[in-house]
A and B are shown apart, each in its own frame.
Chain A
Amino acid sequence: MANEAFPESRAAVREPVDPRFWAKWVGGAVSMGIVIALLDLAHYFPLVSAHDVFGSGAILSSLLLWGGEGAVAGLTLGIAEHWAKPRDIGAWRLAAALLIGVILGVLVCHTFSIYVLRDQFGIRQFRDYLGQPVVWAGGVLYHGWLLLFFGGLAVAAYASLRRRTRMVAALHNAQLVRESMRSRLAQANLADMRERIDPDALFDKLFRLEQLYETDPERADHLLDELIVFLRNALAGIRASAIAT
């Protein structure tokens, strides 16, 4: 319905890419990653705080990894939506893009963080701080599931928001059209009233004219002249309003 209300309004020109478009996706997805990281930290905090291993390094490494994964997933979603333009990306494609983005993000970020940052540069992982073994497959599964779950909920909310925005805009548009029709109708009714020369008054005048021609032809001529002038003016008024509307 929304597409009918905006027939190809975005199709005409392929707009240059708005940086805010990418900021929306990457920023949104990174925020999602950070929210997951914070929930994760909150989950582990009571279990390990007694051992006093919960420092800023642990928090930073967790935020970086989740945020990086979110960034890759957000970028994928953004590319998918940009690719689908000028049409809206459908729900299934959005879900597929999320799946691909999360898998991509988790694989890339995990591999990089474990085999490059940790093994080459000695930057510790969150699990190192917890004193647990760092297993690539375990991390990928854990992060992938959480990102998919929360990302899925967020993407559903986003699709719902987008639909609402479209609907409200279409409604607004329809209301505008309706208002313009109302005013056109009012104008048409007005013109209609102006055009209708009151038949009763006209009858009255013509009967008087008929009688007057019998009794006082000169005054009758005068009256008829007046009537003709009046009708000529009325006719001109109708032409003018017909052109105006």
Chain B
Amino acid sequence: MGVSNHLVGDGGALARFLGFWSLLWRRGLLALSIIFVLSTQFLFQFDLYENYPLQEILLGWLDYLSDGLVVGGFIFVLAGLTGLVPANASRKRMMLVASIALGALAGENFMMLQAPLPPEVSATAVLFARTARWLVIVGLVYVFFVFQQQSAEAAAQMRQSELQHIQLDRQLTEAQLHAMQTQIEPHFLFNTLANVRRLYGTDPSRGRKMLANFIAYLRASLPQMRGHETTLKQEVDLTRAYLDVLGVRMGERLRFHIDVPRSLDAFPFPPIALSTLTENAVKHGINPLPEGGAIEITARIEGGLLKVAVADTGAGLRGSGGVGAGLANLRGRLAALYGAEANLAFELNSPRGIRATIAVPVRAAGKERA
């Protein structure tokens, strides 16, 4: 533990050390290039070329450049040291301006000691002029850096914000998914209870059976209602309980057969998807026909997809008045959970009715709530 701590501590210190030197290097390089560009002013004096040979001009330029380097070095060191002092932003700004002025004064003073001015020239005025010039130059560079830093901070916050944005988006989708899942519940609840109420008045034994079936249905739907991940078996149980409830009401008009291999029981399957299709088949396929019809539910694996089909021998397209809200919800949920990988397809059943097939990817099926 001690060893690893030591290593971690070293790594942090090393990173800080490297960060400091890389910053120093970059700032130093910038300062050098600014001082170099500044020194080229010497070459833009037209009268030099009329009065001096080129070699002397170049030597003079080097002299001028080294002067700039010395004074710039003074400012750079002093401003850099000031940057290390902890202080709040406005105080730091003031300290930095002061350090630039002080650095320029000290540097120019030092240069003046090396090469004294003619006696009739006021040293104070010269120092003032040169310091003012340095202040303007370094001040502009500093302003550039302040804004640059603020942009970087805003950009960092922006990335953070975008991350939260994505998380929120996801949570919102999940909340909406949840709302869609629970949407069909109260409706069915309400209709069934109204039926139970009526049946108890006319045929108590059927009423009792319907209530018992309904309680079984509710029990099967509990995992879905609580938003847990569901398996194909749970979905099939729910659908079976749902058809049992309806069976009491519709009697011989509704026949159904569920043929799902036990080997597929444990596969994850989107909640309420199968019962939505079944509900749709009953409502638009079987219900409109006086003689009723049959519903067959089958499941198989094909090409990496778990395909579950609900086929009815109902009224077919004649009976359906367009895509219901339940189916639209189902499509939305499939798209939200699996993207383009899942699909919901309808085809004509032979000899009559409609076959609806949900296909979800087998691999991704487990990730729906991850």
Contact = CB atoms under 8 A, between A and B. Distances in A.
A227 B136 CA distance: 81
A49 B165 CA distance: 65
Interface stretch (A67-75, A108-116, A117-125, A146-154): A146-154
A177 B164 CA distance: 11
Given A141-B45, A231-B190, A177 B132 contact: no
A174 B156 CA distance: 12
A220 interface: yes
Interface in B6-31: none
B128 interface: yes
A167 B161 contact: no
Interface in B138-187: 140-141, 143-145, 147-148, 150-151, 154-155, 157-158, 161-162, 164-165, 168-169, 171-172, 175-176, 178-179, 182-183, 185-187
B41 A213 contact: no
Contacts, number: 186
A243 interface: no
Nearest to A133: B47
Contact of A202 (B46, B123, B187, B218): B218
Nearest to B197: A224
Nearest to B127: A46
Tell me the interface secondary structure of chain A in the complex.
helix
B121 interface: yes
Interface stretch (A6-14, A58-66, A79-87, A232-240): A232-240
B215 interface: yes
A37 to B, nearest CB: 12
B121, B130, B148, B158, most chain A CB atoms within 10 A: B158
Interface stretch (B95-103, B205-213, B334-342): B205-213
A234 B193 CA distance: 14
* Residue with the highest number of chain B CB atoms closer than 10 Å, among A46, A146, A156, A189: A46
Given A50-B121, A177-B165, A192-B175, A142 B46 contact: yes
A96 interface: no
B158 A174 contact: yes
B197 A225 contact: yes
A145 interface: yes
Contacts of B47: 133, 135, 138
Contacts of B289: none
Contacts of A174: 158, 161-162, 165
Contacts of B147: 157, 160-161, 163-164
Contacts of A161: 143, 147
A144 interface: yes
Nearest to A141: B44
A89 interface: no
A168 interface: yes
Interface string B240-268: 00000000000000000000000000000
Interface string B38-73: 101100111100000000000000000000000000
B341 to A, nearest CB: 25
Contacts of B218: 199, 202-203, 206
A95 to B, nearest CB: 13
Contact of A1 (B144, B148, B150, B158): B158
Interface of B: 37-38, 40-41, 44-47, 120-123, 125-126, 128-130, 132-133, 136-137, 140-141, 143-145, 147-148, 150-151, 154-155, 157-158, 161-162, 164-165, 168-169, 171-172, 175-176, 178-179, 182-183, 185-187, 189-190, 193-194, 196-197, 200-201, 204, 207-208, 211-212, 214-215, 218-219, 222, 225-226
